[in-house]
Amino acid sequence: MSKELMNKKDIDRALTRMAHEIIEKNKGTGNLCLVGIQRGGVYLAKRLASNIKQTEKKDIPVGSLDIAFYRDDLNIRKEQPVVRRTEISFEVTNLKIILVDDVLFTGRSIRAAMDAVMDLGRPSAIQLSVLIDRGHRELPIKADYVGKNIPTALTETVEVQLEEEGFEDRVILKKIEDEK
């Protein structure tokens, strides 16, 4: 059982709008950088950067962040999360970091990401950009830029499928099968 929430066009439009919002809110691209959270967030960060470049004609630095070591559920997960590389080739101190993730849910990943970024240096600000906000927050965290708000049930999952991973661009809503 799955339902398409966004198609390629919807995603493109959302990302274009979010790029504009980022520029608008930060009054340009000065001191700005994008950090995608592994894995979906990394591709979205790159797309946002290229959208921003189209408007502003400026390259802004993009990094990727792995949050495995900062998760708060290492003790209760079925298996250890796969560790991916954190590749941030620039000093984050005094930069404004836009964290980019695909889906905002409980907020725990974002908490982990903020801790991870803080261990790399002292950014002047951290903002959050997500393609989907599906609600059910467990921490006081709110996104600054949202592609689409989607009310969901806890029995559902939201999957963002991207071309970079070999899919067609789309966002789908799935019911969690009863797993024993």
Partner 1 sequence: MLKNKDLLGIKELSAEEINLVLDTAGGFKDVIGRDIKKVPALRGKTAVNLFFEPSTRTRTSFELAAKRLSMDVINFAIPMSSVVKGESLIDTALTVQALGADFIIIRHSSSGVPHLLSTKVKASIINAGDGTDEHPTQALLDAFTIREKKGKIDGLEIAIIGDIAHSRVAKSDIYCLKKLGAKVRLIGPPTLIPEKIQELGVTVFHNMEEGLKDMDVLMMLRIQMERQGKGFFPSTDEYAKNWCLTTGRLSLAKDDAIVMHPGPMNRGIEIVSEIADGPRSVILEQVTNGIAVRMAVMYLLAGVKR
Whose Cβ is closer to partner 1: residue 123's or residue 147's? 123
- Report the sign of the C-alpha dihedral through residues 154, 145, 97, 165, in that order: positive
Question: Which one of residues 83, 139, 153, 176 is an interface residue with partner 1 (CB under 8 A)?
Answer: 83
Interacting positions 63-82 with partner 1 (CB under 8 A): 66, 68-71, 74, 77-80, 82
Nearest distance from residue 162's CB to partner 1, in Å? 22
Whose Cβ is closer to partner 1: residue 46's or residue 84's? 84
The C-alpha angle with vertex 56 and arms to 52 and 59, in degrees rounded to 5, equals 65
Task: Please spell the DSSP secondary structure of 4-64, one letter per residue.
Answer: EEE-HHHHHHHHHHHHHHHHHHHTSSTTEEEEEETTHHHHHHHHHHHHHHHHH-----EEE
Question: Which one of residues 29, 51, 64, 86 is an interface residue with partner 1 (CB under 8 A)?
Answer: 86
Whose Cβ is closer to partner 1: residue 24's or residue 80's? 80
Q: Which of 146, 150, 76 is nearest to 110 (CA)?
A: 146
136-172 exposure pattern, b = at least 16 Cβ within 10 A, e = fewer: eeeeeeebbbbbbebebeeebebbbbbeeeeeebbbe
3-class DSSP state for residue 166? coil
Considering the rule CB under 8 A, would residue 89 count as an interface residue with partner 1?
Answer: no
Kindly indicate which of the ranges 21-29, 54-62, 84-92, 94-102 contains the residues binding partner 1, using the contact rule CB under 8 A.
84-92
**Cα–Cα distance for residue pair 103/92, rounded to 1 Å:** 24
Nearest distance from residue 69's CB to partner 1, in Å? 4
Whose Cβ is closer to partner 1: residue 86's or residue 127's? 86
Nearest distance from residue 29's CB to partner 1, in Å? 26
Question: Which one of residues 61, 107, 121, 135 is an interface residue with partner 1 (CB under 8 A)?
Answer: 121
What residue ranges bind partner 1 (CB under 8 A)? Answer: 66, 68-71, 74, 77-80, 82-86, 115-116, 119-121
